[in-house]
Structure 1
Amino acid sequence: MKGYDQVIFTNELLYHRSVGSKIQETRRSWEERCSWFPAAQRELYGRCSEIYEECLKKYGNDHYEYYLKRNRLREEHRVNTKSYKNRETRKSERCMAHLKGYKASLTSNDEYGRVKPMQLFYCF
């Protein structure tokens, strides 16, 4: 004879049956009332960049940049703003001449910038 380590009472069985029937009812009501939402959401999220471009044209650069900073929008929506364009030109014009002649510091092997990893593990 097989032993069971859990006893299921009648009220638990009735609860599980009612939950099972509620799942079907919930799924049906969702399909009737809310099934349009994921498709609409996909469409609107696909139009985000267009909507932000329209807002930039409609409200101007200053208001749009304030909105971008306040809501922390992604970088892809900042591309057309003046501050982003200025930042990109500054990045491209940055001079790195001050790094000329720099040397890496001495390593533990008394060599400049070269580490021989195989020599570090001779302890095994």
Structure 2
Amino acid sequence: MAKEVITTDQLKYYRLVSNNDQRSKDRWVKCFSWYPGRQTIEFSRIPQIYCDSRHRYGDEVFLKYARSKRLNNKHTIVISPEDAANALENAEVDNAPNVNGEAKVPPTTNGEYGRFKPTKMHYC
């Protein structure tokens, strides 16, 4: 087994990289650590914002917007409060993993995610 010689320059380089990593982490914590929490709050407001927009602009204008932006159907259907509670319970069941531990893949307008295998250009 051959022994590897590590030079002083290599050690300085490793130390520089280590310090830069730590500085980047510290800067992220100082400047941007608030972002994930705020993003969660904003994303949880989406259904309420769509509901307010629907009441403000009316069903016709909102549904035209929803079709053009391809919004999720849960924001575009009209249901009673009882049906809304049932839909919420069903959504929690749908998001649960399968018995095999596999997550359910959501359908899209073009089919399902992962339905098509990658083409030859994806394999380098």
| TM-score of the pair, normalised by structure 1 | 0.54
Pick one of 33, 36, 47 that aligns with 1:35.
33
Residue in structure 1 matched with residue 22 of structure 2 by the alignment: 24
Residue in structure 1 matched with residue 53 of structure 2 by the alignment: 55
**Moved segments of 4+, more than 6 Å:** none
Residue in structure 2 matched with residue 109 of structure 1 by the alignment: none
Cα distance, 1:44 vs. partner? 1.0
Hey, what's the Cα distance between the residues in 2 that align with 1:12 and 1:66? 61
| TM-score of the pair, normalised by structure 2 | 0.54
1:14 and 1:54, CA in 2 relative to 1: closer, same or farther beyond 3 A? same
Pick one of 51, 61, 64 that aligns with 2:62.
64
Residue in structure 2 matched with residue 46 of structure 1 by the alignment: 44
Residue in structure 2 matched with residue 3 of structure 1 by the alignment: 2
Question: What is the percentage of aligned positions where both structures have the same residue?
Answer: 28
Residue in structure 1 matched with residue 92 of structure 2 by the alignment: none
Hey, what's the Cα distance between the residues in 1 that align with 2:71 and 2:64? 11
Structure 1 segments unaligned to the other structure (5+ residues): 82-124
Equivalenced residues, count: 79
Hey, what's the Cα distance between the residues in 1 that align with 2:34 and 2:63? 33
Larger Rg, first or second structure (1 or 2): 1
Residues 93-104 of structure 1: pairs in structure 2 closer than 5 A: none
Hey, what's the Cα distance between the residues in 1 that align with 2:44 and 2:12? 46
Hey, what's the Cα distance between the residues in 2 that align with 1:58 and 1:29? 42
Cα distance, 1:78 vs. partner? 1.1
